[in-house]
Structure formats: C-alpha cells, structure tokens
Amino acid sequence: MSFYSSYFIFNFAAHFSNQALKELWALYKKDIILDFKNKSSLSSVLLYSLTIVFVSYYSFKVKISEVGPIVWNALFWIITLFISINAASKSFQNEMNGVDYYLYQLSNPLKILFSKILYNITLLLATGIICLAFYSLVMGNPVGSPVDFTIIFVLGIVAFASILTMVSGIAFKAGNNFTLMAIMSLPLLLPLEMLLIKGSMLAIDGIGMDTVGFRNIVLSISALIMIEISLSYLLFPYLWRA
Amino acid sequence: MWWKALTVILLIYTILAGLFFPIPTVDIVDESVRNLFFHVPMWFAMTIMLILGAVNSILYLAKNNIQYDINAKIFTQTALIFGVLGLITGSLWALITWGALWTNDPKLNGTAIGMLLYLAYFVLRNSLEEDSKRATVSAVYNILVFPIFLSLIYVLPRIFASLHPGNGGNPGFNIYDQAKHLRIVFYPAVIGWFLLGFWISTQLIRLKKIENQFIEREIIDINE
C-alpha cells in the first residue's frame, strides 16, 4: 500500500512526462504490432462481428422500414455489446505464459493499464465502425441526426473499452476464462447499455445536443467513464501484482 | 451484548406494531402499506451490508490481512439474502398494488441485474484457488461493481420512469402520512433489520474462523 499510494500521490506528474508517454506508446505499439503479426486473433474478431450482424439480419430477414427504429436501435447495441466483449476478452491474451511477469519487471502497471485502454478503444472503434457500416448496408439506416449518433457511438465505445479492460484484467488473473468474462461484463455494462439505447434513440429521432434530455445522457455516460477509469487507476496496480 | 438484545426487542416491536398499528387509509394501497416495515428495511439493510463489504475489500487491499477478505465475502453474502427477501416482499406488494408479481420497472430490473453482478462475484471467488490471489482479485471486483450497483438501483430509476414512490416524478410516502404514524415503526424497523443482518454476519464470520482452524489442525495432523 505505502509504495503504491506514495507513488500515486507524489508522482502523479510522472505519468505525463515525455519518458512516460514514450513508454506508453511503446506498450501500445507492441499490442498493435502483435495483432498484425498474429493475424488469426484480429481476423477472428472481425469475422465474428460480420457473422453476428449477418445472423441478426437473417433472423429478421427484413429491412429497417419493416422492423422500425426501436428494434433497429436495440439490435444494434446488443450486437455492439457482444462484439465488444468478444474483442476485449482477448486484450490480455499476449500476456499469457509468463509474459505478464516480464512486463511487471519492465514497466509500471498504470502504463500497462492505459496502453491497454487505448488499444481497446482503437480495436473496438475499428470493429464498431465496420459493424455499423455492414449493419447499415443490410438493414438500412434510420438515423435522423448523424452528428449526435456519432457522439453517442464514440462515447459508448470508449466506455465499453474502459470497463472491459478492467474486467478482462480480472478474468486474465482468473485464468483467462471467457465464460467468467461474459458473466462479469454483461451485467456491468447494462446500465451503460440502457443509457446508450435511450441516447441513440433520441439521435435517431433527430433530437440532439440542443435538448436537456440528450445532454443529460451524454453527461451521465461521461460520468460513468470517469468513475470507471479512476477506479481502474486505483485498483489495477493491486490486480497486476496479484 | 446489548445490541443483540436491542435487535430482538426492535424486531418484536416491528412485527407486532407493524401488523396491529393503526395506519392511514389510502386507496389501492390499503392495508398493504404495512409492508413498508418489511420491504423497505430489507433494501436499507442490504445497502449497508454491501457498503460494509466494499469497505472490507478496500481494507484488505490496504492491509493485506485475510480476515478482511472473509468479512467482505460474508457481508456480501448476507446482503444477497436480504436482497432476495426484499425482492419477495416487493413482488407480493406489487401483486396487490400494481397487479403483477413482476412489472417492467427500472428499479426491479436494476435490482435483478445487481443480484447477477454479485452472483458473478461468488463465481469469480470459486474460480480462483490460491487464497491471496483470490482475495486480491475478488476485492478489486467488489470495489469495481459497487458504484455500478448504486447507479443501477438509486440513479437509473430516477432517470427512467419508475413506479416506485419518490422515483421518476412520483411522490414519496411522506405526503400521505400527515400524522407521522408510520415513522414511529419505520425507523426502529430499519435499525432492527440491519442489526439482524449484522448479527448473522458476525456469526457466519465466527463459523468461518472455526472452519479455518479445523483445516489448519488437519494439515498439522497430516504433516505429523
């Protein structure tokens, strides 16, 4: 406790020094490079998202004009939720077989945490955009206010990434168990999911930033992101040491 | 132990007064308002138990004493029991006033999801074998879910429309109770049910301690 707490409080600025940012960038780049080197994990995430979109479309076999925007919206966020959990569950895959001990000696846990959050944001944004494009292609797109929908979409992905990074860290310590990851993250993401569905429904109806209801939802999601990131900031060093 | 005697006295008072006390007459709710002394204190007791569990998890991470991990587990366990009791009493109340055992209410759904969150906590505990690792990882999870749980049952019902009093623009119970009758029973009931939960937890913690002693003794026997 004493080591970490003193590090948090007195050395807060050290996380943002030039050297620290370089280290963060190196850790981030390591994950991206490993993903492109070992193409199976990246392509499996992409294929999973395309398949799940197609399965959902084929179950309804209709366009947006027949299912209506409510179903379109709910289905889109359910798909995004499952794709995100599947993609983020792989975030500590490269640290299996003792690589985590090696990283523990090389770097500080907080840098690993932030590099993983950045990596997950990149991965989930990429898969999310591909999924949205394919989903719009097969089902149609009823969004009335694209700017507001984009705001909700990006905020949602960032929130998913920040929560799922921590949960996949916990699942990693429990032996990288995918079932455990799913049962922990599905209920954890549900309040967020409800806010996102409500917010993007407003954006689909063309109601956006000029209304109090929409701004409140954006603020609530931002507050959830802040809470989760600050909790991860405090808790991850203990988790990484376990 | 004075507080154990207090628990018994308060609970006997709650049950007797709660069932036979004169109550204000309100349409639809009628006599079911007596459930206020049983349903609502369950949630108060559960929330306080979960706070105690989260505090013990923080203490474990700070002090690295395995006793805090046991406390956190037991308090969460008791909180879940109170949550189930709260759901049952709430369902009965909902059947009488809203017409169904389960309604599409954000508070109900939020509670159900909260239960799933804490059930996952026990699954996580069971999937880790080594004591100190299990304690650390589950403490981290317990602290992580606590704010989400609070947002599920106290924040979201206030954003989305809820049938519960005091939520989603509905009036609280206070405005119907001009005589402040209900409070004479309600506050002792809250304290009584919480103390009962605390009492159960302390007994379970002692039981766990004895179990651990037995295991240690067995290990010593095997080694000899």
* Per-residue model confidence as pLDDT tens digits over B129-171: 888 899 999 999 999 999 888 888 887 777 776 667 766 555 5
Q: Is residue A3 part of a domain?
A: no
Looking at residue B173, what is its pLDDT? 57
Q: How far is CA A191 from the centre of its chain?
A: 15
Residue of B nearest to A177 (CA): B127
A138 CB-contact burial (10 Å; exposed 0-12 / middle 13-18 / buried 19+): middle
Identify the weakest region by mean pLDDT among A145-154, B56-65, B171-180: B171-180
The encoded tokens of residue A189 equal: 């993401």
Q: How far is CA B100 from the centre of its chain?
A: 23
Distances (CA, A) of A106 to A22, A103, A112, A132, B53: 14, 5, 10, 38, 34
Looking at residue B180, what is its pLDDT? 66
Rounded mean pLDDT of B35-56?
Answer: 90
Looking at residue A124, what is its pLDDT? 94
The encoded tokens of residue A114 equal: 């932030």
Phi/psi at A82 (5° precision): -70, -40
Q: Is residue A7 part of a domain?
A: no
Looking at residue B109, what is its pLDDT? 84
What value does the mean pLDDT of chain B take?
Answer: 84
Looking at residue A1, what is its pLDDT? 46
* ipTM of predicted assembly, 2 dp: 0.84
Cβ atoms of A169 and A92 within 8 Å: the answer is yes
Residue A187 contacts B, CB cutoff 8 Å: yes
Looking at residue A8, what is its pLDDT? 53
Q: How far apart are CA B75 and CA B138, in angstroms?
A: 14
Residue A178 contacts B, CB cutoff 8 Å: no
The encoded tokens of residue A216 equal: 């409140």
Torsion of Cα atoms, A37 then A41 then A46 then A52, to 10°: 170
Residue of B nearest to A224 (CA): B148
Looking at residue B52, what is its pLDDT? 95
Highest-pLDDT range among A102-106, A210-214, B31-35, B75-79: B75-79
Q: Among A22, A27, A211, which residue's Cα sits nearest to residue A120?
A: A27
Q: At what angle do helices B66-97 and B181-223 cross, to 10 degrees?
A: 140
Run of H or E residues at B134: helix B131-150
Residue of B nearest to A231 (CA): B144
Q: Do A235 and B140 touch (CB under 8 A)?
A: yes
Residue B170 contacts A, CB cutoff 8 Å: no
Cβ atoms of B39 and B86 within 8 Å: the answer is yes
Cβ atoms of A197 and A77 within 8 Å: the answer is yes
Neighboring chain B residues of A190 at a CB cutoff of 8 Å = 113, 152
Residue B114 contacts A, CB cutoff 8 Å: yes
Torsion of Cα atoms, A67 then A69 then A74 then A80, to 10°: 100
Residue with tokens 């429309």: B161
- What stretches in chain A show pLDDT beneath 50? 1-2
Q: At what angle do helices B36-63 and B131-150 cross, to 10 degrees?
A: 140
Amino acid found at B174? N
Residue A125 contacts B, CB cutoff 8 Å: no
Q: Do B152 and A224 touch (CB under 8 A)?
A: no
Looking at residue B1, what is its pLDDT? 78
Model confidence at B100, in pLDDT bands (50, 70, 90)?
Answer: confident
Which position has the higher pLDDT, B61 or B1? B61
B64 has pLDDT over 60: yes
Q: Is residue A8 part of a domain?
A: no
Q: How many CB atoms lie within 10 A of CB A22?
A: 10
Looking at residue B169, what is its pLDDT? 54
Domains: count for chain A: 1
What does the DSSP 8-state code read for residue B130?
A: S
Q: How far apart are CA B23 and CA B177, in angstroms?
A: 9
**Residue A242: which of B136, B147, B151 has the nearest Cβ?**
B136
Q: What percentage of chain B carries pLDDT values higher than 70? A: 88
Residue A175 contacts B, CB cutoff 8 Å: yes
Q: Do B139 and A175 touch (CB under 8 A)?
A: no
Q: Do B64 and A1 touch (CB under 8 A)?
A: yes
Looking at residue B18, what is its pLDDT? 78
Q: Is residue A132 part of a domain?
A: yes
What does the DSSP 8-state code read for residue A95?
A: G
Q: How far is CA A58 from the centre of its chain?
A: 26
Q: Is residue A226 part of a domain?
A: yes
Q: Print the domain residue range for A69.
A: 15-241
Q: Do B117 and A187 touch (CB under 8 A)?
A: yes
Run of H or E residues at A27: helix A18-37
Looking at residue B147, what is its pLDDT? 87
Looking at residue A206, what is its pLDDT? 84
Chain A to chain B Cβ contacts (< 8 Å): 81
